[in-house]
Structure 1
Amino acid sequence: MASMVPYRSVFGLRPATSLFDAFDDMMDLASAPMSTKAFPMDVEDKGDSYEVKAYLTGVSKDDIDVELNEGRLSIAVKVEEKEEDKGKNYLQKEFTSYSATRGVYLKDAACEGLSARYADGVLTVSVPKIVEKKNVTKISID
């Protein structure tokens, strides 16, 4: 039953089962900037379009920036701590201001017809594919 209790140490490390686990955790902690967080993202090929889902639980729609630049779809989030939260006497506080950016390259993404919606903490971006035009015209003979 004790294994079901979540473990948090002062440094956010999990209990190590070996020296290698402890070393890996310390290296991950050292290499990650403290003010950034990653968010999960799914990219699905729907045939004539792409559907990108970013899971942004707890983020306001106004804190999200989405852009497509030469086939690269970028989703950026910038969340800032509210002024009324500063100066309170917290026993434990895990929310801080942070920013995160994720991107994916969609080689045949069209610049027209893009749409995005944000509901229940999930940002869904639909990116149509470029319709390839053929420059060959069949000419009938009279």
Structure 2
Amino acid sequence: MASLVPYRSMFGIRPMVPSSLFDVVDDMMDFGSTSLASKAFPVDVEDKGDAYEVKAYLTGVSKENIDVELNEGRLSISVSVEEKEEDKDKNYLQREFTSYSATRGVYLKDASSEGLSAQYADGVLTVSVPKIVEKQNITKIAID
């Protein structure tokens, strides 16, 4: 092994002579890895009949860094994590945590803005979104 850090040009690609096919595949997977898409968090949406249950997996994020809102049927979950000042002065040999923000949105066509609830425990945000209950105005009509 020549180095622990692979050679990268300024465009994130190795020289044109890869040592193996795995190096080519690694370059394709690594290209653009610093984008916000790599910081996206997984979300599950379940239809419970009278409500939707949305679970966002936010391991390592504190409750204060999470923002949840419902706007015209679109549920948005935003996370904003910033590096602490005390961590900037440390002499890390390797550091993979950086400041980032990410937002995931889910469109729930018949979501009600009343009765919403959210709980955050063990790195999982669970949002319960009730559905709009359409009142059926059925009127019996007498036939003459």
TM-score (norm 2): 0.78
Partner residue of 2:72? 70
The answer for unaligned runs of 5 or more in structure 1 is 1-6
Amino acid at match of 1:70: E
Counterpart amino acid of 1:125? Answer: V
Q: Is the contact between residue 36 and residue 98 of structure 1 (CA under 8 Å) also seen in structure 2? A: no
Partner Cα separation in structure 2 for residue 49 and residue 8 of structure 1: 49
8 Å CA contact retained: 1:50, 1:128 = yes
Larger Rg: 2
Once the two structures are aligned, what percentage of the paired residues are identical?
Answer: 71
Q: Equivalent residue of 2:45, what SS?
A: strand
For structure 2, list consecutive stretches of 5 or more residues without a partner in the other structure: 14-19
Q: CA–CA distance in 1 between the matches of 2:22 and 2:7?
A: 18
2:98 to 75, 96, 99: 96
1:24 to 17, 28, 36: 28
Which letter does structure 2 place at the counterpart of 1:73? L
Cα displacement (A) at 1:25:
1.6
Which whole-Å deviations, capped at 9, do the CAs of 1:63-116 have from their partners, x for residues lacking one? 000000000000000000111101211111111100000010000000100000
**RMSD across aligned C-alpha pairs, in angstroms?**
2.9
Question: For 1:100, what is the secondary structure of its paired residue?
Answer: strand
Query: Where do 4+ consecutive residues of structure 1 move more than 4 Å?
Result: 7-13
Measured in 2, the distance between the counterparts of 1:48 and 1:35 equals: 32
